[in-house]
Amino acid sequence: MSGLTLLYTLFAYVAIAVFLVGFLARIWKYATTPSPLKIPLTPAPVNSVGVVYRMVQEVGFFKSLFYSNRIIWIGGYLMHIALLITIVKHLRFFFKTTPAALAWITSFEIYVGFIFFGALAFLFLMRLVIDRTYYLSLMQDYVLLIFLMLIAATGILTKYYVRTDIIKVKQFVMGLVQFRPEAIPGDPIFIIHFTLVLLLLIYFPFSKLMHSGGIFFSPTRNQVDDAREVRHVTPWAVKG
């Protein structure tokens, strides 16, 4: 095993561990912190099926954002959909034999990387152009966008311009997920791409990216509007 392989194997495991432990610790915190009072944002669903439907609309279509700001919705929605497709397409690196459905999805060439990059650039621009978001934006907002743009750019490079040998990439990734380290491909663009992804994983649980898990715990969205019918009881707020 080369030094580079050893380094990246360790780096990858550390990054994944930090991400998993960090993310799950945050989720545990969100899940266990009590919600003493009923605070659904009404009109709200009156049963839990309705809450699931509301969540699907929010998570799947960004409904509130859609009705709030169509421009940001377009940028944000495109970005997230492109990200989702990209992640799905990357899943083939984690299966020994790629399932037919995944191969089928992957076979459509829709230049999703470019859409992802474009949407990110658009969001970056909007941050600067709208005086209200320019005022609000913090260093980490820009850093994250730049980070994701770099990941998209290097990914695009390995796919369309400086082709990398994906069989080697898959070998390497399969080695990682099966705890049987394989040599890391020497392609520098791939290594940069991979490094950025690992850094992002490490930063993830400490960042605003926690909105991905946090949205499911938002009381104004996930509570059932049944305050009069069902007495809402939580440990610290109601004695006995």
Residues 8-47 within binding reach of other proteins (CB under 8 A): 19-20, 23-24, 26-39, 41-46
Residue 211 engages other proteins in binding (rule: CB under 8 A): yes
Q: Tell which one of 150, 166, 192, 197 touches other proteins (CB under 8 A).
A: 166
Distance, in Å, from the CA atom of 196 to the CA atom of 228, rounded to the nearest integer, reads 50
Which tokens sit at 71? 């421009």
Window 69 to 88, contacts with other proteins (CB under 8 A): 69, 72, 76
Pick 193 or 221: Cβ nearer other proteins: 221
CA 182/CA 161 separation, integer angstroms: 25
Q: Does residue 159 bind other proteins (CB under 8 A)?
A: no
Give whichever of 154 and 164 is closer to other proteins, judged by the CB atom: 164
Q: How many residues bind other proteins (CB under 8 A)?
A: 98
DSSP classification of residue 228: T
- Report the nearest approach of other proteins to the CB of residue 196 (Å): 18
Determine the Cα–Cα distance for residues 129 and 55; give it in Å rounded to an integer. 31
56 scored as a contact of other proteins (CB under 8 A): no
